[in-house]
């Protein structure tokens, strides 16, 4: 068991942010274990899949190349990574917690008699791996016991990608033994993470609206507040899933990661998938009628109350102050 293997995944728009964050998690694990970080990914000929790595370079890169991997299939990726992992014998294998990883990594881990510790948000001494359960109401800490590689997937936004270029690393090619008959599924439509035509990441102020708003017809209430504050409108996932606001307004692990000066969360419970997308905000204000809502754990200011009373009053106060 020799290293920490971090698996590359670029989004369809070419963004490597989730990979960079997973690398940062790998570096954190390296600090705690003294093991070296290496990178692996499926590469198309002519594309250097590790070209965009920022921060300290991994000790080595492994580019998996095979024509049967030109399009993603769970069968192809499982077989290819199984062979690479058996060859390298890493102690830990880290993936971004993406739709694609969730599709094939549990099966890959099972081939090694392991379970996937998914959705990891922090790595502590031990090492221990933190994740949240029941929409943030419980924190759980996991420790890997026994032999075999430990498979982890890292929540988006939980680790900050390192800045700055850090030199070069040796990259070797790995060609797995794959036969067409082993790929039992046809490639489907690629997994789609959220499109981002509205760039919330550069907004200075955001009013985030959640399921507490109850009804699309009530949205003008928060739109008025956002207008008074000169803020962009963001949303939790159920709001976008319901089609009440476009998907690009979604904040969180499968939406945008934002870090405005002010994030005003209205009727949002504070599930981990939402928190990882906005906890880097400079000032977080939460309005929620439930005093035990997890959002209050990250809030700088909390208003426990009915948003249908608090929001109009706040809007009036902001307008008056301006």
Ligand X SMILES: Cc1cc2nc3c(=O)[nH]c(=O)nc-3n(C[C@H](O)[C@H](O)[C@H](O)COP(=O)(O)OP(=O)(O)OC[C@H]3O[C@@H](n4cnc5c(N)ncnc54)[C@H](O)[C@@H]3O)c2cc1C
Residues found near ligand X in the complex (CB under 6 A): 135, 210-212, 236-238, 250-255, 267-269, 271, 273-274, 277, 287-290, 293, 306-308
Closest distance of CB 252 from ligand X, Å: 2
Nearest approach, Cβ of residue 202 and ligand X (Å) = 18
Task: Identify which of residues 40 and 209 has a Cβ nearer to ligand X in the complex.
Answer: 209
In the bound state with ligand X, the residue whose beta carbon lies nearer, of 73 and 269, is 269
Question: Given the complex with ligand X, which of 57 and 253 has the nearer CB atom?
Answer: 253
Q: Which residue has the tokens 């904040």?
A: 251
CB of 89 to ligand X, least distance (A): 30
Report residue 230 as tokens. 């000169």
- Closest-by-Cβ residue to ligand X is 252
Q: Which is nearer to ligand X, 260 or 277 (CB)?
A: 277
Q: Dihedral angle at the C-alpha atoms of 244, 247, 249, 254, nearest 10 degrees?
A: 130
Decide whether 54 or 201 has the Cβ nearer to ligand X.
201
- Least Å distance, CB 29 to ligand X, is 23
- Least Å from the CB of residue 80 to ligand X: 24
Q: Which is nearer to ligand X, 26 or 277 (CB)?
A: 277
Report the alpha-carbon distance of residue 228 to residue 88 in Å, rounded.
57
Which conformational region is residue 55 in: left (phi greater than 0), alpha (psi within -120 to 50 degrees), or beta?
left
Report, in Å, the least distance between residue 306 CB and ligand X: 5
Residue 200: burial class (beta carbons within 10 Å; 0-12, 13-18, 19+): buried
Minimum separation from the CB atom of position 303 to ligand X (A)? 9
- Minimal distance, residue 192 CB to ligand X, in Å: 13
Cis peptide before 127 (omega within 30 of 0): yes
Considering beta carbons, is residue 44 or 241 the nearer one to ligand X?
A: 241
Residue among 27 and 237 whose Cβ is closer to ligand X:
237
């Amino acid at each position: 068991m020799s290293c920490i293997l971090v698996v590359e995944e670029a989004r369809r728009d070419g963004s490597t942010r989730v990979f960079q964050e997973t690398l940062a998690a790998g570096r954190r694990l390296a600090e705690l274990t003294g093991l070296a970080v290496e990178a692996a990914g499926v590469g198309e000929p002519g594309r250097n899949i590790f070209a965009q790595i920022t921060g300290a370079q991994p000790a080595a890169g492994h580019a998996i190349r095979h024509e049967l991997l030109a399009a993603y299939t769970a069968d192809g990726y499982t077989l290819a990574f199984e062979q690479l992992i058996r060859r390298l014998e890493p102690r830990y294998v880290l993936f971004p917690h993406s739709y694609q990883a969730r599709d094939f990594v549990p099966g890959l881990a099972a081939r090694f008699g392991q379970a996937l510790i998914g959705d990891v948000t922090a790595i502590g001494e031990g090492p221990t791996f933190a994740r949240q359960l029941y929409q943030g109401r419980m924190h759980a800490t996991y420790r890997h016991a026994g032999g075999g590689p430990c498979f982890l997937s890292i929540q988006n936004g939980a680790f900050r990608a390192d800045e700055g270029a850090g030199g070069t690393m040796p990259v070797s090619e790995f060609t797995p033994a794959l036969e067409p008959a082993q790929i039992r599924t046809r490639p489907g439509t690629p997994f789609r993470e959220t499109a981002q035509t509205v760039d919330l990441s550069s907004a200075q102020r955001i009013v985030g609206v959640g399921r507490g708003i109850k009804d699309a017809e009530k949205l003008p209430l928060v739109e008025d507040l956002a207008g008074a504050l000169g803020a962009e409108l963001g949303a939790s996932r159920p709001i976008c899933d319901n089609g009440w606001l476009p998907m690009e307004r979604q904040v969180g692990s499968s939406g945008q990661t934002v870090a405005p000066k002010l994030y005003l969360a209205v009727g949002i419970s504070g599930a981990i998938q939402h928190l990882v997308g906005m906890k880097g905000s400079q000032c977080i204000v939460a309005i929620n009628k439930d005093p035990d809502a997890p959002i209050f754990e990250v809030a700088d200011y909390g208003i426990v109350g009915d948003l249908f009373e608090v929001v109009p009053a706040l809007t009036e106060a902001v307008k008056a102050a301006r």
